[in-house]
Chain A
Amino acid sequence: MKFTLSWLKDHLETDADAAAIAEKLTSIGLEVETVEDAGARLKAFVVAQVVTAEKHPNADKLKLCMVDDGTGAPIQVVCGAPNAHTGMKAVFARPGTIIPVSGEALKIGTIRGLESRGMLCSSRELLLGDDHDGIIELPADARIGEPAAKALGLTDPVIDVALTPNRGDAASVYGIARDLAAAGLGKLKDGSVKAVAGKFKSPTSIALNFSADAASACPLFAGRMVRNVKNGPSPKWVQDRLKAVGLRPISALVDVTNLISLDRGRPLHVFDADKLTGNLQARLASDGEQLLALDGKTYTLDAGMTVIADAAAARGIAGVMGGEETGCSDATTNVFIESAYFDPLRTARTGRVLKIVSDARYRFERGVDPEFVVPGLELATQFILEWCGGEASQIVVAGRVPDWRRTIAFDPGYVARLGGLDVPKAQSVSILKRLGFTVADGAILKVTPPSWRGDISGKADLVEEVVRLYGLDNVPSVALKRSNTVAKPTLTPGQRRTRAVRRMLAARGFNETISYSFIPRGDARLFGGGDDARQVENPIASDLDALRPSVLPSLLAAAKRNEARGFSDLLLFEIGVQFDSGMPEAQVTVAAGIRVGEGARSWAKASHPADSFDVKADMLAVLETALGAAMTAPVKAGAPGWYHPGRSGTLALGPKVLATFGEVHPKILAAFDLKGPVAAFEVILDAIPESKSNGKARSVFTPSPYQAIERDFAFLVEQNVTADEVLRAARGADRNLIEAAAIFDVYEGKGIPDSKKSLAISIRIQPKDKTLTEPEIEALVQKIVNAVAKATGATLRT
């Protein structure tokens, strides 16, 4: 909502300047975004006359000007503008003036050998527009030496207020003046409108044509004809105002509607009465009904929308935009003015569905003053008669003012209870009355909001009104009740776990990233997603249109970007959501990481391409950090299709997959244009069972006093026998004595049959209650060999 200071002062008696007004507006909830005071900003620029403009002797495209700025002898200025000419009035900057576009002070310069002691300015240099083709030419009657801003008509500061959606009452200059007056900044001038007596009966009649359940769509419709008008440009003061707030003047009949919309928050529409067929009515549109609107586009309407129609067709989308075919032009001689009340929600829906943003919709959907339907019409009539001549008909009205009166029972003590602000009752009452509320006194006040405050519906709203005018800054701080014991932990076990995993991965050397939850659909398809249900209907960019089914595509895309910047050794992780469908709560939190490249090259250490065993360690570290215990569930070969089919694994508890890991499938790397190698892990944090704690005490520490024994074995097994099978069999040989079993060498090749491999394992035997004798140890060794042989067909390598 933009307006100028002088416009505001049409409605408000005040000596306050723009800055004071802006501060007050913000403090009462009408937040000022900008105050553009070009007059103050351009104070240093003056009107000057170009006495002579001749070609620069040393340059074809430059001119040598002598400029009179009213201070004495003409000043020599070199100017590059093609439109600089003798006799023109221009905006002049003297040396030392800060030029807005550069922010730098103008220096006396020498251009092609001639001194230039100032500058003739373009709009762009003054930040008044983009026009850089030439310098500003001021009107011939501009007075030399006076501020250029005055000659430009820019002395009136423009204030821009960001209105919150509840304040339809402040979507007008008058409404803003009314709120300022209530806040004590000035006195509101009389805004009442005198009725214009009709000279004849309106030849066009109006009607409301709604079923009972849709009657609220338009409870009141008023209009009148003004005949024999002469349309043309509106008066200069009107054009100046419209231009100052960014509107383009069109013609008197159109400008009058824009002026009243801005000035009073009352949207109007004017029809060229001669283009109408028969009488007007407000009705619901029929499904599929079409209308060419004033913006030149044809809209297809539905039965939820209100239209103003004549006997032939819909002529306007109620509260949103008028129709092109019946609009006013310079040739219009008979005009029909429409002023109506349209339902806010229905208007909002219409605008949203048709994607039309207009000043009328803006006001109707926020709620206009229902009592100003007819006065708005009268005001428009006055202006039209004044600017365009003609004579007005009597007013025709259909329906009546919707009932806006409601009474709110209000305990004045509620201001303190909810607002924390101890405002005396009398003061609360006075504030409400200043805002136009009717207040009936009593222990419980009976408060009726004014017709223009449709947003006030309950007692909390009244607290807000009192508090905002009394001053929010006066609310004292009051401490929340605190426990008088030591603070208890507030994180859930899952939250603690996530935090621990995050810090662990960073400690392992991974850099944490956070990436968008949406990714390109093509990428999503590679990871089992990309279906319709997980599509974003209105993505911010066409390549951010699918909810990610996995965190990995985000990480791979990040790896690609880093690779392109010359960083091809990466450890990246993200703890974030993946979406299993397009339904709420169908998301899981995943800790995913990738290792890219071969690691930093070093003189001291051989590097190796990131492989499955690197990420298997990462995956186990995540699981064990989350569990707070060793992960004993077995890893099975195989993982989803984005992994290398032979170099990937899955860890599951029963049917529940906890984690997958492995080298990334070469086709996926190709799709992301990654050189690689890349190995990845994904751990579904939400799937990890909560650790069961049996109190804080650890089990009793009982180290064995007997010497542990290490024995190494080398087994020859078929290629398809897994390390896990061998280790499990070995451990199973004597669960009591065997403390640990580990693979320390895998060998295939020379000396081993082609179909076989050698697995070397080391077994740690820990006697519990006596030292083992040599025969006992031998017996155990044989038991181990037998167990492994039985389970896997292994033979001891000799």
Chain B
Amino acid sequence: MKSNYAVLLIAIPLLVAFLQPLFSLINKRLTKWVTFLTIGFNFIYSLKLLNYVMANGAQIAIIGNWKPPFGINLYLSPFSMLFATIIYFVALIVLLVYLIDKPTEVDDRMSIATLLMVMASGAITLTGDIFNMFVFVEILSISTVILISFNNKGISFKGAFRYIVLASLGSSMLLLAIGFIYGSLGTLNLASIAYRFNLLNPVYASVIVFLFMAGIMVEAELFPFNAWVPEAYKGSKSYLNALLSGVVGTTGIYVLFRMFITIFGSGQNHIQVIGSVNFNAVIIVIGVLTTLIGEFSALSQKDIKKILAFSSMAQMGIIAVTIGVANMNSINAGIFHLINHAFSKSLLFIVAFPIINIVGSANIDKWEGLGRKNIFLAIAFAIGSFGLIGIPFFNGFWSKMMIVESVVSAGGWMYLVIGTILLSALVETFYFFRIIFKLFVDKKIESTYSVHIFIYLAILILSIIVIYIGIKPSFLATYIHKAAIDLVDKSHYISTVLGVIK
């Protein structure tokens, strides 16, 4: 069966990661290229698989011919392949910048960590086994910690340590949730958990959902498990932040989507109420709090990395709200916004990298006059922030419109939520325009840093995507629509994995 080869998306990066020490014996720069090519292979192959599942419907890859629910399977559907493709794509663009960054002593080890991190993120989106998911979440958090700490500054170690403490706390809760699930349902296969989940005692079920949510909120940058965000982003290199936001954050939210809507929820109606706990409301409250905290923290910062870090936290909050609002439109909007955020935020982080090098500081007060020195970078920064704020004819506009629209149609106390989203857009507009105005101040900057063609290439690709989605949002519409249908169709998920249930 063709879909079984999807295992290569996990196996090849893993194999290459452990061969990296051999490549580094030849040349340390070689490891960077090997990493780039491996992720390139993953991107092309996942794109192929995405088109395959778009045409032929969801597939499963069975490992070792042990049929689910006994063996481990990968689930390839429009939703999971779409996000795997986007994760590999963002990673590939970021690696373009990594390739030409000045060589350091630790390049080989950094290549290994990057490769493992991207592999784990992709694997989390594909896996159909909850314990596999736990293992990949652990690999993701450990390799992220290693990547953050490579910068060799006090704040990097502090950020890395804070992240790993929260991540181990989260993973303990995740494991506890898995223990509860296995103890009560006797299975680790996601499809068979989904099949039996409503048979559970409501008290048990709500404990499991709470623990699972707490476990994955670290990766999804949601309050109150996001204390690591500012220091970790500040401590690592600007283009690696694009990985933290575009890959780790996206993966965290992906898991929330998949688990809450398909596995724990009841398909169309989502999770709603288990026992006496209304989980929709819980997620909405968490999302709203995250958004408000993120936006207002961003407002008071002067450091570009911290501003973008808090802003990505806020966007994750908005997307979490769409999970809680729980209707088909909001899921469409949430998926769309998650994709847009991954592109725009990666663009901003990648643009920030040469700007920091030219200006010599991450403090936005020092950025005055950059537009005169290098108009291209200034315009690219403006494009990225317009996409994020949601200025008409940029990608974020459509997804934010869809989110507001879906929340309006939900009615009731959701009007409070609309207020939050609009307020956050307002605050965002304020702090991004503050930076953009600074960029175009007439002032001379002395700098000898020359921007490499690869950085321009990465910026150009992402800018074109941001503008293209803004002008022609229908380009992604079929993918998003199929992904949303795949997400809510619980019985289809179960029957694809377990076969037809009598």
Q: Do the two shown chains form a genuine complex with each other?
A: no
Task: Using CB atoms and an 8 Å cutoff, list the residues of chain A in contact with chain B.
Answer: none
